[in-house]
Each structure stands twice: as structure tokens, then as C-alpha cells.
Amino acid sequence: MGYYVTVEPGVNLYVEDINPAGSKTIVFLHGWPLSHDQFEYQYDVLPGMGYRCIGIDWRGFGKSDRPYDGYNLERLADDIRAVVDTLQLKDFVLAGHSTGGAIAIKYIVRYNGGGVSQLVLIDAAAPRGFTKETAADLLKQTLNDRANMMLGVTNIFFFRYITKPFSDWFNQMGMQAAGWSTAAIIVMLRDFDLNADLSRIQVPTLIVHGIHDKVIPFSQAEEMHRKITHSRLVPFMYSGHGSFYDERDKFNQLMQEFVGTAPQ
């Protein structure tokens, strides 16, 4: 089921809550410039294993409200906290893809764990995001031809072949976002540095990263693995930036193994 959670006056986030009766909860944070829908092929499978899966659209993206401001890691982490508090979540798994991984890291550090029992970083944009050159190029495209920018992102996102209908669906997901929020996150990805945060993560952490990732290089996953004490790095040999789809069967099985088997 889907509903809205107020995170500050006038700003409501869309939440998709699948199998609320599940015995273990996994909260998914999507990547830029997508929405919770990117995890469709996890929602199709993991609830059937007994998990409660919660997808959150950040402010400015998907079905959430689109304010003009608030696009920094601290505010985005605060938004997640508001959802966690409203739903009274405890002992949950936090899984973040790309920029969602950066938000997940900031959330855990900012809230001293924040009720998270395990962390999953999926092709995470950490400890850094875009280079200044990449950010400048994406920002220029976003402000002049956002649809073409999104097509370019899709073209380098996956390692394995995707069909034209899938590509169209993926592009439309990115186009749901506001132009201003899309641009603001590019600037955020250009400017943040999470190196000081990594050593403060104390929960068991699974790092999943495609070795062919053209958006966030695999070397950053290796760097995270060195700096996060209780971490395990699993290279995905046939994946790009979209390991959750490129090798979805392997990914879903790995999630089950890491999170633990939920009673049926």
C-alpha cells in the first residue's frame, strides 16, 4: 500500500509499504534521479520471502512533494528520520543505491544508528559522488535538455542488455522528478565528502558494487570496504551501476542471506 508521511510543514514524502505483516523490514532508498520504483524487481520477490519492504521517494522525486529547497544530505537524512519515527520502525535494514547509499550513511551517522540493524550499500555514491567535470556536464544538460540527459544516464547505467520498453520506463522514472531537484542533487553530489563518516558506521554492512560501474567506480567500493569496520564487499562481475537489476537474482539471494531468513 502507498501513503504519504509529512516530514516538515508542507512537505510530504510518498512511501510504498509492501507486506506490512512481514517479520523483518527492509527500507529502500533509491538513487538519483529515480524513485522507489527502481526496486520493482526486489519488491516482486523479497516480500514473498517474508520481508516487509518499504520504498521511500525523496523530496523532489517520484510521487513525493517537490519543494524548491532542502536538497542536502543532512535534510534528506532528516526526512528519512521523520518517516522512521512516524512508522515506528526499529531494528530494520537500510538499503541505499547510489545517492541513496550516501543518504543512508549520513542517516546512520547523524542519528547514531537510527534503529538500523544492518546496512546495504548498492553501487553507493560514497565516499564521493560526481567529479566536478561530470557534475558540470550533467548540470548543463539538465538545465537545457533534461530528457536527453536522462537518456544518456540510462545508456551507461546497466552492463547487461535492456529492452527498449525497459529503457523507456526507466527514463520516465527519472523524468518524474522536478528539474530543480534533479539539478540540486547534482550539485550535492559534486560537493560532499563522506570520508569522515565511514569509520563511524558500526552496524554490519554489505557493499554490493558492479565492477563495470561507469557512474561510481568500483574503486570507491573498495575504499568504503577498507574504512567501514564491519563490512563485506561483494563484487558483481556482470553489473554496471544497476547491480540490483543487472544481476537481480543474485542480488535478491544475497539480500536474503545477509538479512537472514524471515519466517513464512
**Among this protein's residues, is 98 annotated catalytic?**
yes
Q: Is the Cβ–Cβ distance between 126 and 220 less than 8 Å?
A: yes
Distance CA 104, CA 129 (A): 14
C-alpha span between 170 and 244 (Å, rounded): 13
Q: Which of 79, 213, 231, 239 is catalytic?
A: 213
Catalytic residue of the set 30, 35, 64, 98: 98
Tell me which of 30, 36, 97, 241 is the catalytic residue. Answer: 241
225 part of the active site = no
37 catalytic? Reply is: no
CA 227 to each of CA 2, 127, 196: distance values in angstroms, whole numbers, following the listed order: 37, 10, 9
Contacts of 218-227 with CB under 8 Å at 24 or more apart are 220/124, 220/126, 220/127, 220/128, 221/121, 221/123, 221/124, 223/127, 224/121, 224/124, 224/126, 224/127, 224/198, 227/127, 227/195, 227/198, 227/199
Active site residues: 98, 213, 241
